[in-house]
Structure 1
Amino acid sequence: MTTKTTLHPDVEIGLVQIRVSNLERSLTFYQNVVGLSVLRQSGREVEMTADGQNVLLILREIENARVLRPNSVAGLYHFAILVPDRPSLGLVVRNLIASGIEVGQGDHLVSEALYIQDPDNNGIEIYRDRPRDTWKYDAEGHVMMTTDPVDVNGLLAASEGLQWNGLPAGTVIGHVHFHVGNLTKAKEFYVGLLGFDLVANYGSAAMFISAGGYHHHIGLNIWAGQGAPVAPADAVGIDYFTLLLPNEEERTAVVKRVKQAGFTVVEENGAPTFKDPWNIGIRLIVKSHTK
């Protein structure tokens, strides 16, 4: 009898690096519309932050980048920015309304979420979680999620009289969501190999996985089509996301499993990095405990 590999319950998603076609245009968008600020810039790469210390997003401009039709390849569906409370999300709503861009929304029972696209059609979710003790579970122990209309008026009321100064300290990357070419293969990699737990299925077209009982750290879907091709290297999209692990022992164990499964692991900026079956990069970082 085989024992299921399980990631440490304290695993979290860290920073995300994406490819953009026009850095100046993206900087304007991510500062004015999303509410991040520049921490540092090196050539055509910019690190962006909410608290002035921790990097949440890296923008990398590539020359003559191709902007693909949405939902046409495997890769980024959206990365999700988690704000610390409801008034903060209310301020996000106010700023998005003022920006005039198109905004999608969904109340997922466990969270309230807003959806936007950056100028290159990279998907972004900005959301707040409801307290974990209010989440409901089905007979199989899976977190119950749905998509209902968001109480926008309630969000506006929660932020009444507050001032928008960009995303607040305490904002993190809460999860990432990807198009993949095959859900069975995705489950084998992310659940069977890496050790995430299956938290919920969305019919036969999407699944949600996490560590430590979170509603999801990663969403995986086949909405770009069964067998969706890998995104070209010269297209906008995601370079990699980071997994924040609690200690070096956990990182070593993950690296060992990945190598034994035949995946190539390379050191990038001192961190083990590898790619999933759809060329999405994953970088393993040991959490800093100095905060």
Structure 2
Amino acid sequence: MNTTYQIPATTHLGEVSLRIMNLNRSIKFYTEVVGLKLLERSDKLATLTADGKQSLLRLEELTDGITLPERSHAGLYHFAILLPDRKSLGLALRNLAASGIDIGQGDHLVSEAFYISDPDQNGIEIYADRARDTWKRDSDNNYVMASDPVDVESLFAISENEPWQGLPAGTVIGHVHFHVRSLEEARNYYTGILGFDIVGNFANMSALFVSAGGYHHHLGLNIWAGVNAPVNPDNATGIDYFTIVYATQEQLDQALEQLRQSGAVVTQVEGTWFTVDPQNIRIRLTTAN
């Protein structure tokens, strides 16, 4: 294993796949409340999109599935949908408020975010970034972040009289955030093997943020479900996989070789590469084209 391997700066995240209990219910939620559009569906599977072309979310209905209590296991805390601008966030907030669901919020200094849960208690963040040149780092090179109240009034004002047409083209998966069994184990895997950079070592919050290319985080890792929390079983609702997107085939090949040298199991399913992290979360590895 190449211990100096660093993930390429152009790497970003792609499609997230969730296990859910009722496909029709979830499609209704993700189209009407979140604002995604149905791309394809079959009996037990559906994909959703913002631009009508690229799948951002894959939903798989379980047969005889279960839903475990929140914060009882390692696995998904939330996946985060990144909107292209602040006006889009204001429009999304208007639609969320009109739906009547519970909404959490946080001004994180690097971004403004709202938090909801889907019908299967999968956590969702919907957010917009502030300009990167406003992001600040502390003396330990961690991004300075907070959880201040969002200026909701200005978001409503900036989106006033604009029609809601769902999430716009340019919407992407910004990051994923997981409950992990051990921060050390997760750090060794995501930085030591996959090559992400630490951008937030928040020991006081029992959390670690890592990213590629100086982003404020592509992965959030925490032990809020408890150290050595059990992994989420395959028959339970939650995350099935998330996707790491490399710019070129050469970069993907380097990442696959790094995983193999580390002893990780790498498998190919219908032409697509997968591996599994220490939380039993599958990682789909692909290229941008």
Letter in 1 for 2:50: A
What is the TM-score with the length of structure 1 in the denominator? 0.97
The residue that corresponds to 1:227 in the other structure is 228
Partner of 1:27: 27
Q: Could you tell me which residue of structure 2 aligns to residue 147 of structure 1?
A: 147
Q: For 1:207-246, list aligned pairs within 5 A.
A: 207-246=208-247
CA deviation profile, 1:82-137 (whole Å, cap 9, x unmatched): 00000100011100110000000000000000000000000000000001011111
The whole-number CA distance in structure 2 between the counterparts of 1:223 and 1:15 is 25
Matched to 2:175, the amino acid is H
**Residue equivalent to 1:250:** 251
Which position in structure 1 is the counterpart of 2:110? 110
Structure 2 unmatched runs, 5+: none
Instruction: Tell me which amino acid in the other structure corresponds to 2:237.
Output: V
DSSP 3-state at the match of 2:79:
strand
Structure 1: distance between partners of 2:77 and 2:246? 24
Residues 260-281 of structure 1 show CA distances to partners (whole Å, capped at 9, x for unaligned) of 1111111123121010011101
Deviation by residue 1:180-207 (Cα, 9 ceiling, x = unmatched): 0000000000001100000002225101
Opposite residue 261 of structure 1, the aligned amino acid is S
How far apart in 2 are the matches of 1:151 and 1:96? Answer: 16
Q: Distance in 2 between matches of 1:231 and 1:88?
A: 34
1:126-137 matched pairs, under 5 angstroms: 126-137=126-137
- SS of corresponding position for 1:98: helix
Aligned to 1:84: 84
How much does 1:81 deviate? 0.2
C-alpha offsets along residues 142-175 of structure 1, whole Å, 9 cap, x if unaligned?
2111110111111101101101111001000000
Between the aligned partners of 1:173 and 1:194, the Cα distance in structure 2 is 19
Amino acid at match of 1:206: A
Provide the rounded CA distance (Å) in 2 between the counterparts of 1:202 and 1:42.
42
Aligned to 1:101: 101
Q: Report the TM-score when normalising by structure 2.
A: 0.97
Match of 1:6 in 2: 6
Tell me whether 1:51 sits opposite 2:16 in the alignment: no
- Aligned positions, number: 287
Tell me which residue corresponds to 2:279: 278
Displacement of 1:141: 2.1
Question: How big is the alpha-carbon RMSD for the aligned residues of Structure 1 and Structure 2?
Answer: 1.0
Give, in whole Å, the separation in 1 of the partners of 2:3 and 2:122. Answer: 38
Bigger shift: 64-73 or 169-178? Answer: 64-73
2:109–2:146 Cα contact (<8 Å) kept: yes
Aligned to 1:61: 61
**Distance between the aligned counterparts of 1:185 and 1:154, measured in 2?**
41
What's the CA shift for 1:65? 1.3
State whether residues 3 and 192 of structure 2, in contact with CA within 8 Å, keep that contact through their aligned partners in structure 1. no
Q: Deviations over 1:197-227 (max 9, x none)?
A: 0000222510100000000000000000000
2:109/2:145 contact within 8 Å kept: yes
Q: Following TM superposition, by how much is the alpha carbon of 1:140 offset from its aligned partner in structure 2, in angstroms?
A: 2.2
**CA 1:51–1:261: 2 relative to 1, 3 Å:** same
Structure 1: distance between partners of 2:236 and 2:164: 33
How far apart are the structure 2 equivalents of 1:64 and 1:165? 35
> SS state of the match for residue 56, structure 1?
strand
Shift in CA distance, 3/256, structure 1 to aligned 2, threshold 3 Å: closer
Name 1:125's counterpart in structure 2.
125
**Could you report, residue by residue, the CA deviation over 1:44-95 in whole angstroms, capped at 9, with x for unpaired residues?**
1001001100100000000121111111111111000000000100011100
- Output aligned runs, 1:195-210, within 5 Å: 195-204=195-204, 205-210=206-211
Q: Distance in 2 between matches of 1:25 and 1:36?
A: 14
